[in-house]
Structure 1
Amino acid sequence: MNLNKHDFNEVVNRKMTAAEKWDGMERVFGVTDVLPLWVADMDFKAPASVIEAIEKRVEHGVFGYTLQTHDYKLSVAQWMQKRHQWTIDMDWIVFSPGVVPALSFAVQAFTEPGDKVLIQTPVYPPFYQVVTNHGRELVMNPLQLQQDGTYVMDLEALERSLDDGVKLLILCSPHNPVGRVWSVEELEAISRLCAERGVLIVSDEIHADLVFEGKHTPLAMISEQIKNQCIICTSPSKTFNIAGLNTSNIIIPNDEIRKKFQQTVQLYAVGSISALGSVATEAAYNGGEVWLDEALEYIRDNMHYIQQFIAEHIPEIHVTLPEATYLLWLDFRSVNMSSDELAAFLLTQAKLALNQGASFGTEGEGFMRMNVACPRSIIEEAMHRLHSAMQNLRAQR
């Protein structure tokens, strides 16, 4: 394992720092004595370039209203070009305090109450909420689970749903929680179907930098037509573990769509970037790439360790390595428990806090989502706890 300058084995004590992942366990799970492997942030320190930039900004001592500078936007554009070979115009970049708020803004800007919005399930729970909370009709296009544990799009069902008056499609690319990196062919198919019907695509690409297999293709690169019919949601938050700085960059090539989106953002007066979010993002994109590459190597090693451990000791659980994200979608269906029973078992017997698969949709019944972006010692402890709990369960049955 090549750790170079960054020690990802370091256990950083996040307790009593108002960390949702650690200090929010009692509120969500009703317990505090478990390992938190749920909220999708890392337990690693951010890149040194980010920490140094924030320290320098703090030394200045004044944290007034802040602009998105030319250098800030240039750092975003250069990152997209270098990491994804996507050439963007800096004028396309619109600030949002987060990707989920951006999804909500898009739903409000481009649909009316009662309009249909399509999502591909199982999917990140806020995808449901940004539709139903605003009185839109939710249309689900379930992904198809294959025998090897991977998922594919059901394009025939998608076409039928789009023909039924869908106005907007929210795409998760790469997909959370199943970890797919959609192929160019898949993106071409979904783009063609939406382009033919005038359906706007809002593509959540927050995990775009966290790819292990294949290559992420920004949706706007698929065709000139879809470039002018999509909104691309990006952020450095997952990539560099700076989610708490609430900084996202929404990239909208179409002038008319961009202006309408900006008008909706302005309605809620949240269009101003924070002083620390600005410098952190710029520093991350300009100086965090080595850290990211090493973090990805470390996370993938964690995944391989878990896959091998479970194969050897807990054959009831099936692990399919994701193509992207630092999230494992664990298949517990052979354990034969309901979603609530499984979550309770993991909390009380294994002392582990994971995300219930059912919270991502009915297709997630029997699955659990596990965040593995943490030091190996925590992963090893989690596996030993899970092994012991499963041994006790076998003995009881």
Structure 2
Amino acid sequence: MQNHFTKNIDRTPFSTVKYDLRKVLFGTEDIIPLWVADMDLPTAPEITEALIKRLEHPIYGYTLQDNSFWQSAIDWIDKRHQWKVHRKDFVFVAGIVPALGFLVEAFTQPKEKVGIFSPVYPPFRDNIVGNDRTLVEIPFINTDNRYFIDFDLFEEELKNGLKLLIFCHPHNPSGRVWSKEELEKILQLCDQYDCNIISDEIHADLMFYGHKHIPFASLSDVAEKRVVTCMAPSKTFNLAGLNCAYLIFKNKELQDKYVNRVKHMHLDFGGLMATESMKAAYNQGENWYQDLLKHIQGNIDYIVEQFDKTPIKAMKPDATYLVWLDCRALGTQNQIKEFFFKKAKVGVQDGLMFGIAGDGFMRLNTAYPKSVLEEAMKRILNQLE
């Protein structure tokens, strides 16, 4: 493994969400921010070189996503996930979160029921409620510090009129990878009760401990009919600020519904930097990517081991660079936040942001140089003594 990820790089001069919001979120700037899900690690040098080369041309006009752009995604998905997708299946989006909102609008009517399994990534909830749909939260079953789907409750909600499921695959915040059997059960129930599925697979490339990602829509003809897939290079290659993502539709009827919703706003094509970064990432970033996986898995092992003999229980993730912390032994959510933010001075993310099922939990990002995590754990462990 090359030494890409040992240097602590200062991001404060460049208006970064993670650092500039410390005072707002945690009450102080004297805090190690381990919250928002981007990496404090440099992207692949091949991506930087490609962007510099393009910027040397002094005209930065409207940019199309040409065949080479889409072929890079087709090849990456085939190699990484053994799923055959085609140019006609894709629609560009500037980010999965805004696309979720338009998908909800395209596939449901106001007041209709849209479901999520909870706890889950906060913008799922925001895009349902903000679009005047009825939010249905289906809590996971927590067994031995691992989440499982309550299929009985899920079926009850489907019987009660659930029209759309927004599904996190792999799961954020717990890092849970869903098995083929679980996916098939979700699909069987959704097809039985006429419910479509938006599958957010943005963390699909970040698999650890031998786990394998199964693209939901790849399961069967029924899955192709029911599932819209959301993917991006942004989590894998730390490109979130470049606004590059895409949707995959195997069902042209669903694709047309979405495109008809966004096309007049010109939201189905993207910018110059997004285009160049994705091509470089998928075509040239393999070696860096493999080094990243080793680095992140080492960091996860370290964090889980450090919490092992404390009152805080770390839910070891199968995927993602996020660790979900069960902190209920520390007291109420306000007491937990005071412990991390005011005592330990470590800015993990408030579990209640992920829904009521996140009460008593916090989310920690491991995508840092190990030295940063070591300092954060030193602060936490000192306060637990």
1:320 to 296, 315, 321: 315
Pairing 1:110–2:107 present:
yes
Q: CA deviation at 1:320?
A: 2.4
The CA distance in 1 between the partners of 2:46 and 2:253, in whole Å, is 36
Where does residue 128 of structure 2 map in the other structure? 131
Q: Is the 8 A contact 1:65 1:272 kept in 2?
A: no
| Residue identity in the other structure for 1:160 | E
Q: Is the 8 A contact 1:16 1:23 kept in 2?
A: no
Q: Is the 8 A contact 1:96 1:270 kept in 2?
A: yes
2:338 to 344, 366, 380: 344
Q: Equivalent residue of 1:340, what SS?
A: helix
Where does residue 331 of structure 1 map in the other structure? 326
Q: Equivalent residue of 1:296, what SS?
A: helix
Where does residue 354 of structure 1 map in the other structure? 348
Where does residue 283 of structure 1 map in the other structure? 280
Q: Equivalent residue of 2:131, what SS?
A: coil
Where does residue 241 of structure 2 map in the other structure? 244
Where does residue 35 of structure 1 map in the other structure? 32
2:360 to 355, 361, 366: 366
CA deviation map 1:212-248 (0-9, x unaligned)? 1421100111111121221100010001000000110
Pairing 1:120–2:114 present:
no
Q: Equivalent residue of 1:349, what SS?
A: helix
The CA distance in 2 between the partners of 1:376 and 1:203, in whole Å, is 32
1:183 to 179, 184, 189: 179
Where does residue 191 of structure 2 map in the other structure? 195
Pairing 1:384–2:378 present:
yes
Where does residue 270 of structure 1 map in the other structure? 267
The CA distance in 1 between the partners of 2:112 and 2:305, in whole Å, is 46
Pairing 1:64–2:61 present:
yes
Q: How many residues align?
A: 384
Pairing 1:167–2:163 present:
yes
CA deviation map 1:70-97 (0-9, x unaligned)? 0000000100000000000111110111
Q: Equivalent residue of 2:297, what SS?
A: helix
| Residue identity in the other structure for 1:326 | Y
Q: Equivalent residue of 2:323, what SS?
A: strand
Q: Where does structure 1 lack aligned partners over 5 or more consecutive residues?
A: 392-397
Q: CA deviation at 1:267?
A: 4.1
Q: CA RMSD in A?
A: 1.1
Where does residue 78 of structure 1 map in the other structure? 75
Where does residue 257 of structure 1 map in the other structure? 254
The CA distance in 2 between the partners of 1:197 and 1:235, in whole Å, is 30
CA deviation map 1:107-151 (0-9, x unaligned)? 00010101000100000111111000011001111111012x111
CA deviation map 1:48-81 (0-9, x unaligned)? 1111110101111211111110000000010000
- TM-score, normalised via structure 2 length: 0.98
Deviates more, 1:158-167 or 1:338-347: 338-347
| Residue identity in the other structure for 1:88 | V
1:154 to 142, 150, 153: 150
Deviates more, 1:372-381 or 1:296-305: 296-305
The CA distance in 2 between the partners of 1:270 and 1:18, in whole Å, is 25
Q: Equivalent residue of 1:316, what SS?
A: coil
Deviates more, 1:232-241 or 1:9-18: 9-18
The CA distance in 1 between the partners of 2:136 and 2:358, in whole Å, is 17
Where does residue 395 of structure 1 map in the other structure? none
The CA distance in 2 between the partners of 1:130 and 1:7, in whole Å, is 36
Where does residue 394 of structure 1 map in the other structure? none
The CA distance in 2 between the partners of 1:278 and 1:151, in whole Å, is 37
